[in-house]
Structure 1
């Protein structure tokens, strides 16, 4: 178990959320699957609801904003920033597109949404009272967020320019996968970038989220029991045993049991 206090380093995946058409259905699904419990949502935050494990924030669910056209639900990964206005300029200078302009979320912090040059959506978060994940790497909490791209070199160019990442090959058999490192923490990679394989050519470039589970094989039946579906796995790879699934609104995410030790 890894608890976390305070803001996350700039460039680190620090939060995930999803907008869903029926928030009560999604609450029941994720509570049953990952053990989440939910805050009461405040009207001034439009029904946005934090999920918790042992009282610590792990993710959030939200209904669509009034008048908002509901798109296909998908998990949004937020990358931490110490200066949202400067990041906004960096994103557009590097060829990204502003989807939601920087906005203050009361005392919680400030957020913005962007699309990178491939059209992949990501969020940016400058923390206030809400600093992002309060726990990671335990059953039900986020353990990894990464990016899948059709052009690894171009993606590294964009995110390297915006967030200062440097990259090194992860040595993943059968796939091209690069670990991204922050300038001030060259020994620890907060995220990774994967080049699409031939079977993934039709998939969009996207950020994705992976939740830690204690026994991924036991989750196969559980996912289906509570209203999800299995896309792939479970299968072994150098960093554990992985299962790729969908939730009640066909949103994709992964479940991972790391290797012992």
Structure 2
């Protein structure tokens, strides 16, 4: 067996192959969107390392879920179409909620890419102790997310 890691694309683990993480471990990221396809294109362009499932939920007229996972299996997530019933609970794109931070090589380069594909930077690059830097951005649906650069 070669010591190199197999880089061929793999289908993310199905529910039956998924291992239950320890209690309290984040296990899903849900990104609300009115246009799932547009939002998927944004994240697929920004983070080409994400693996997208081919078995997403689609109605006769539109995609309603676009599920993704990461190459080193851990947390998974999906872009989920906002349902009208959710509006009473305040769950809508651009609303308040958890902010998930994504590791990037360079905040400056990531922000350029984010802006080039329709996103916005909403918090300038700031130092985080002696460990690195962070910034906050909005995707094409108005959802807030963070990016984090480890100090080298």
Normalising by structure 1, report the TM-score: 0.42
1:48-63 correspondence to structure 2 within 5 Å: 48-54=65-71, 56=73, 58-63=76-81
Q: 2:121 maps to which residue?
A: 230
Shift of 1:43: 5.4
1:18/1:74 contact within 8 Å kept:
no
* Residue 210 of structure 1 pairs with residue 101 of structure 2: yes
For 2:82, which of 35, 60, 64 is the aligned residue?
64
RMSD: 2.7
- The answer as to 2:144 corresponding to 1:252 is yes
Cα 1:55–1:258, aligned 2, differ >3 Å: closer, same or farther?
closer
Maintained 8 Å contact 2:52/2:66: yes
User: Which residues in structure 2 correspond to 1:1-261 (within 5 Å)?
Assistant: 6-35=19-48, 36-40=50-54, 41-42=56-57, 47-54=64-71, 56=73, 58-65=76-83, 67-68=84-85, 72-74=92-94, 206-238=97-129, 239-260=131-152
| Dislocated runs of 4+, deviation >4 Å | none
Unaligned runs of 5+ in 2: 1-17
Q: How far apart in 2 are the matches of 1:51 and 1:230?
A: 23
Cα offset for 1:216?
1.4
TM-score, normalization by structure 2: 0.69
Which of the two has higher C-alpha Rg?
A: 1
CA deviation digits over 1:125-181, x for unaligned, max 9?
A: xxxxxxxxxxxxxxxxxxxxxxxxxxxxxxxxxxxxxxxxxxxxxxxxxxxxxxxxx
The DSSP-based 3-state class of the residue aligned with 2:29 is: strand
Q: For the residues of structure 1 that align with 2:58 and 2:141, how far apart are their CA atoms? A: 24
Q: Which runs of 5+ in 1 are unaligned?
A: 76-203
- Across the two proteins, how many residue pairs are aligned to each other? 125
Q: CA offset at residue 240 of structure 1?
A: 1.2
Q: Identify, as 1 or 2, the structure richer in strand.
A: 1
For the residue of structure 1 that corresponds to 2:27, the secondary structure is: strand
